Amino acid sequence: MPVKDWMSKDLVTIDADTSIMKASRVMKQNEIQHLPVLNKGRLVGIVSDRDLKEATPSKATTLDIHEMYHLLDTITVKSLMPKRLFTITPGETVEKAAAVMLKRHISALPVVDAQGTLAGIITKGDIFRAFVSISGIYQGPLAMGLELPDQPGYIKQVTDVIREHGGRIASIMTRYEGAPEGFKRVYIRANEVKDEKALQKELESKHKILYYFSEKVD
């Protein structure tokens, strides 16, 4: 899935010389947690609400309220935004964006085009939306996990059995981590199965079932 299909395009940005007080106010007014930082129209960084909170004096400070406000109004976002900027392009995948965020311990990535122009932003929330969408949970309440040999034809064997029971496949995902060598874990969601217990019994007679149940999201 390309990033461009999931990123936010209606951007709120700030200048590098913006004070952290104003940046915090902009976040609250727009109900957002990340602000791309520009310098003369070019992307130079990104700040999060966490960055701003960490830069704000604690309640234990000896500063009085006027001194605190003055301090917050003089510190600019360029002094606290992360020194290394990670970005992604609109044509790269949501999966890569998630992997970069996980590896770098960050919660958002600015999206830039081939010319380096800011085109959007993708956040952990966007990643969650994408994952829920491809998981098929809204279309397939019947969830099952199987451990299958990593050989051609085994997934088809399972899906054929599901279809023989009247079922329709909503999603199929595979994972190698945690599976024995030569095997993979396959996660399937389906709907319209005529007899779920009969399907379970037949699958169990042929394959190793990791889990099998129905669930719905309210």
Q: Which CATH number belongs to the domain containing residue 28 in this structure?
A: 3.10.580.10
| CA angle, 93 then 33 then 102, to 5° | 40
Does 95 lie in the same domain as 52?
yes
Q: List the structure tokens of 75.
A: 């510190």
pTM of this prediction? Answer: 0.82
Residues 72 and 146 grouped into a single domain? no
Average pLDDT, the chain: 90
Residue 80: predicted pLDDT: 83
Same domain (yes/no): 94, 155: no
Pairing outcome for strands 108-112 and 118-123: antiparallel
Of 107, 132, 157, the residue that ends a domain is 132
The residue segments making up the domain with residue 158 are 136-214
Q: Which comes out higher in pLDDT, residue 76 or 180? A: 180
The residue out of 109, 132, 155 marking a domain boundary is 132
User: Between the CA of residue 48 and those of 3, 63, 165, 190, what are the distances in Å?
Assistant: 20, 24, 50, 39
CA–CA dist 97, 86 (Å, integer): 10
What is the predicted pLDDT for the residue at 58? Answer: 45
Domains in the chain: how many in total?
Answer: 2
Give me the pLDDT at residue 51, please.
86
Could you tell me which of 52, 132, 148 has the C-alpha nearest to residue 98? 132
Given 132, 156, 173, which residue is the final one in a domain? 132
Least Cα distance to 105 among 124, 120, 92 occurs for 124
- What local confidence, expressed as pLDDT, does residue 60 receive? 39
Distance from C-alpha of 122 to C-alpha of 134, rounded to nearest angstrom = 17
In this structure, the answer to whether residues 119 and 141 fall within a common structural domain is no
